[in-house]
Structure formats: C-alpha cells, structure tokens
Structure 1
C-alpha cells in the first residue's frame, strides 16, 4: 500500500475543537510535564554541581526520588483510575508541576530539593497518563498521525530545556535555568488547559473500531518489553550527556541533548506514519533495535560524530517507542493499560541507575553498553508480541490483512 504525504506526517489542522487542537493540547501537556519538568534536571545537573556544590551522590539521589514519585503517580493511575480521567486533576497536577520548578531555586537544601523532585515525578506521571490516554482514545480513529504529533511534545520540551541551559551556562546561574523552565512550563500549561479527558471505547473493540484480537500473553510480553526499555532508556538519559561532555567541551553535552529533543519532535509521528504499512509490534521491535544501536554507539566509539548519531538515534526512537507501546496496549483493551505500562516503565527507571552504578568505576562506556544490551532484550520481548500476531492491529488498513 503506497504511503502518501497526506497519510504520513501531514501537519494537523488547528481549527478550534478539531483533532489538531487536541493534538496540540496533548503535546503542550507532555512538553511541560515530561519534556521540561522531568528532563530539564539532566542538563541543569552539571550547573548545580559546579555552582551550588551538589555532589554526585546527591544528584543521583534527586534523580531517584523523581523516579520514585513517577512510579507512585503511575500506581495511583492504576489504583484510582478516576484521577487520570479527570480534567480537574490534570490541571491541578500541571500547576503543581510548575510550582516545583519555580521553587527549586528558592531553596538550597538537598532535603527540600528531594521533596520538590518527588512531587514533580508524581504529578508528571499523572499528567502523562491523562494526556496520552486522552489523545489515544480521541484521536486514534481520526488519524494515527495526530497522536504521533502529540507525543512529539516531549521532544519539544527536551529541546527547550537543552537550549535554556546552553544559554544560561554562558550568561547566568543554575537558579535562572530553573526559573526559565518554570516559565516555559507555565506557558505550555495555558495551551494544554482545555485538553478534554479520555473517553471509553466500545467493549470488545479497539480504539480504531476494529474487532479485538485475542491477546494471550502478548500484553505481558509488551509490559516486559516496555519495562526493559525503561531500564535502558534511563541509563542513556542519565549518562549520555555526561559521556559526550566528558570527551569534548562542556557545551557539546548540552548540544547533544538539544539534538535528542529535535529528533524526538517528529519521531513519534514518523513511526506512527509507518504504522500505515506495518503493524505496531513490528515497528516496536525495529525501533527498539535501532535505539539499542544508538545507545551502545557512544560506549563503543567515543567522539563528536558518533555522539551526534547516537543522540539522533536515541531521540528519534524513545518517544516513538512510547507512543507505539502505549497505543498497542490500548488496543489490547486491558483495563488501565496505559497506567500498567507506565508503571512497568517507571520500575525500569528506578532499576536502571542501580544496575549501572557498579560499572561507573570504568567510566561511562560500561553503563551505555549495558543500556544498549537491555534495550536489545526489550526488542526480543517485542518479537514475542509480534509472533503470530493475528491482525494488523494498530495499522490504518483493514484488520483482515496479516501482520508483516
């Protein structure tokens, strides 16, 4: 089936109440809560270490409490699903997220920083589940690429956070970086304010309206795959910038982070567009394989050229992997599938730093190679989802055609 420009990455219409507006609102929510609130700490951390005296262990501790908060938010999404189906809760969570960013430079104690990063993790998980559930349930039947553009908001937030730190590094202090991040998150919250909550799909049918295929053990394999991705992705997200910056000027690490964000912006839409030709399990496996190569590349071939390639491969896949996995989980119609998958991902994020810490004595190559190996294992689990997949679930073609 030929892929036309109209069916692939066509920009959405922005008429009021149109799918394009919902995609824009979802993108803004993810840019604020995930791209900025969660990931801005990565480029700001070196500034806090040099200017605020933050130790390596304290920095790792702040990252960990953020992951724990994210896990708790995901668990709340499972145990109290009304939280992530409420527009009011999402709005409050976004306001709290902005507050945690603005308060970071207002205190100078690690204990308070830990509290703020914990709350930021919890609220970002609630917003992530609410926004992705809303986009998947409301946009999948209209056009899969809309959801892809919505997920691209994560890349927008990452790129903005990297640009902020690049500018601040040369002109100001770590406090200014947090204040600017809070201001950007506040503006994005205004854009996301009207995002409607998720809607329920018909019992026994996918969100595309196709007959629901038997899931068997495929959802369990999907959870395992996405959990492994959480481990490998967080290792890369934690050490990639530092590894690149270690082998060159300090700005190269921040520049690579901007590349990650820029590649992530269209990444989900591109992977979604490919879903018009191949099934999501196939694309998920391929995306994980590409990411495994990108993460391991810097560990094998240090240098500026490999760093840019690694950053582009990582950024171009990790958001796409999330959009593919969560949309596929929604198609399986497992209750609270998005929250369950997000929980597995959050557990992986906590395990990643623990597993990689013993390897840091030899530099960053060991953790990055470990991350690549774990993501390769995620790809193998993805094959279990794809194996004898009964329908082209998640593609925009008729479900009677076999998966490729």
Structure 2
C-alpha cells in the first residue's frame, strides 16, 4: 500500500508535468494541423517554432544542472512552473509570428527546468525513503496530459481560431500549476543524504555512464519527429476526414498512459538496462512504420509503439543513471536531459531543411529510425554487472 505522503508527492510531480510538459510543450502537436489550416503559419514555419522551443528546452535543462541542490530545487521548480503557465496564457494572444517564436523559446526554457527538476525532486525524496522504484509513476501525469491536450485541441476546434486555440490549454494549466506548487513545496530533502560533497561534484562521464549518455543522445533525436508531427503526418497520408487524423494523437497518449506502469514494473523486475534495450527496439519499429506501411497501418503502429515507449525510455534512463552514480542523482538527471534536449532540437530543424529542399515529412522519419538504432546499440553495450556487484 502506497502511503498518503508518497501519493501526494507523486501527484505534485504529475501535475507539474501535465501543466509544463503535456500542455506547455506537447499541446503544440495536436494544435499544429489547426494552426496550419487557420493560416497562422506554414509547415516550414511550424518546424522552426518547434526548433526554437527545443533550443529553449536545452537552455533550461543546462540551467538545471546548476540547480540540483535540495534548496535550489525547492525554489526553482515552482518559479519555473508558474513562468511556463504564464507563457501558455500569453500564447493565446500571440498572432504575430515573431512574438510566438519568442514565447515558444521561453516556454522551452521553463519547460526544460520543470521536466528536469520536478521528477528529480520527487525521485530524490522517494530515494531517501527507499521507494525509488515508484519514481517512474510520476510520468503518468504527462501521459494523462497528452490525452487531455488532444481533447482540448479537438473539442472546441470549430469555435476557436488561430492563437485562441491556446485558451483552453491555459485555463487548465493554471490551476494545475498552483496545485503542483503547493504539493511540491511540502517535499523536504535531507541535505546529508542528498549527496556527499566529494561525490556530488565527481565525474559525470566514465566508461559506463558515457554509453548511457550516447544512447540518450539518440533517444532525443529519435522520438521527437513522431511526437511533433504525428497528427500532421496523418493529415498528409490519410484521406480527408479520416478518424486517425485526430485519433492518432489519442492512440499515442493512451499507449503512453498504459505503458508507464508497465515499463516501471519491467525495469524493477528485470533490470532497467534490459527493459531500456527492449523499449528502443519497439520505438525504432514505430518510427519506421509510416515509411514501411504508409497510411492507416503505419500511422497506427507509429502512434502506439512510439507513444508506448518514449516516456518508458526516459524513466528507465533516469533510474539507470542513478544506479550508475547514486550520489549524483539530480545532477546526472539534469545532464542527461540537457543532452536529450540538445539532440531533439535537431529533429524539427532537419525536417524543416528537408521539406524546404523538396523532401517529404514521411521521408524525414528515416533520421529518427537511425537515431533509435544508435540508442539501442549503446544501451546494449552497457555491462550487465557493475564493478560494485550491482546488476543492471
């Protein structure tokens, strides 16, 4: 039985991810086809908006590397979360493209901070209570948020236009952010257990952890194209009015929601390394599906397999990293996600270049497949046993 205090800690982390990551960041994906139809911007400009958002995400994740101490965590998380929500509100009034570029950059910075620091705060708090195996459940909020953003994009679609489509997102994000701040402020980390001084500032890169970093670089580039352009790809590959044009995002969100407890349990039972290897194989197949089977089959497989694995790979990587370097949990998490953010921003940018030179959005998914195979190889190369005797 999970105690009330742990449930509230997980709720605080999940609501933070709903507001900042699902709504603040990924709501852009189901909204993108509507923005294109409204003439707010074109597909190439849409890819540029995504790229600037990911540049901000990288900057936020890099800033989080310096904010991993307990005192800084408790201050940085609520400030970043509230800033992210204010940006979401402002986007509802951004009809100017240059202003929207700036807002997506600011959204990325605050989102990067929240996505790194909120789960890190919850993970460290749980680890001090010998409950780190529950940490993956914090990402359930993000998965539920994906479902929510799909509904918030589609339900009022006929009544809103252009930047107004952000209004329902903002109305939901604001109370969730306030609730998250109230819950996360209750979490107190014991300084002495958080990290011995000589270990907390040790080397992040060694023979084993470097392989994890290399794998995560591929993961960032590999997942981002499907999770940014899936509804738009469905619109291009399927006949007008097909249920998967809006339904693909719902399938991805459902797969994500149901897969998080599964990957959390598989990692705890069979080892995070082994589960991570399996997740990258399935994710690569999902990314390749629209290339191999264009249309209903490819879009469905992409939605289910990518949606059902990409957050699993995040939570497994975070736990595996903490196993490799237990006294640098939050710092290692921040460094990993900074790298993840750096490689994923290349995805929309390369897609935009490819489209500008006459290529198709479908063809650009080849890059993601190659990146995920890279991630699988480096994860597979991590030794199963550490010199300390720990089994991965």
TM-score by length of 1: 0.85
- CA RMSD of superposed structures (Å): 2.5
Structure 1: segments with no counterpart, 5+ residues: 1-5, 7-11, 205-213, 392-398
Alignment counterpart, residue 221 of structure 2, candidates 231, 241, 244: 231
User: 1:228 offset after TM fit, Å?
Assistant: 0.8
Q: Give the match's secondary structure for 2:345.
A: helix
User: 1:283 offset after TM fit, Å?
Assistant: 1.0
Alignment counterpart, residue 338 of structure 2, candidates 334, 343, 348: 343
The structure richer in helix per residue is 2
Distance 2:90 2:162 in 1: 13
* Kept in 1: contact 2:231–2:245 (CA 8 A): yes
Q: Give the match's secondary structure for 2:25.
A: coil
Give the match for residue 47 of structure 1: 34
User: 1:253 offset after TM fit, Å?
Assistant: 2.9
1:378 counterpart = 2:375: yes
User: 1:106 offset after TM fit, Å?
Assistant: 1.4
Distance 1:400 1:82 in 2: 28
Q: How does 1:200-219 map to 2 (within 5 A)?
A: 201=193, 216-219=206-209
Task: Tell me whether 134-143 or 376-385 shows the greater mean CA deviation.
Answer: 134-143
Q: 1:266 to 1:191 in 2, by over 3 A?
A: farther
Alignment counterpart, residue 294 of structure 1, candidates 286, 304, 317: 286
Give the match for residue 327 of structure 1: 319
User: 1:220 offset after TM fit, Å?
Assistant: 0.9
* Kept in 2: contact 1:84–1:126 (CA 8 A): no
Q: 1:81 to 1:318 in 2, by over 3 A?
A: same
Distance 2:44 2:70 in 1: 34
Q: How many residues align?
A: 373
Alignment counterpart, residue 312 of structure 1, candidates 304, 312, 332: 304
Q: 1:175 to 1:110 in 2, by over 3 A?
A: closer
Distance 1:199 1:173 in 2: 49
Q: Of the two structures, which has the highest relative contact order with CA contacts closer than 8 Å and spacing of 6 or more?
A: 2
Per-residue CA deviation, residues 196-251 of structure 1 (Å, 9 max, x unaligned), is 265554658xxxxxxxxx98411111111111110111122223222222122355
User: 1:380 offset after TM fit, Å?
Assistant: 0.4
Task: Tell me whether 308-317 or 163-172 shows the greater mean CA deviation.
Answer: 163-172
Per-residue CA deviation, residues 147-170 of structure 1 (Å, 9 max, x unaligned), is 222111111111111111111224
Where do 4+ consecutive residues of structure 1 move more than 6 Å?
A: none
Structure 2: segments with no counterpart, 5+ residues: 197-203
Per-residue CA deviation, residues 377-401 of structure 1 (Å, 9 max, x unaligned), is 111011122x24328xxxxxxx967
Give the match for residue 396 of structure 1: none
Q: 1:83 to 1:199 in 2, by over 3 A?
A: closer
Give the match for residue 390 of structure 1: 386
Alignment counterpart, residue 142 of structure 2, candidates 148, 154, 166: 154
Distance 1:83 1:63 in 2: 32
1:221 counterpart = 2:211: yes
* Kept in 2: contact 1:164–1:180 (CA 8 A): yes
* Kept in 1: contact 2:321–2:333 (CA 8 A): yes
User: 1:342 offset after TM fit, Å?
Assistant: 0.7
Distance 1:382 1:65 in 2: 29
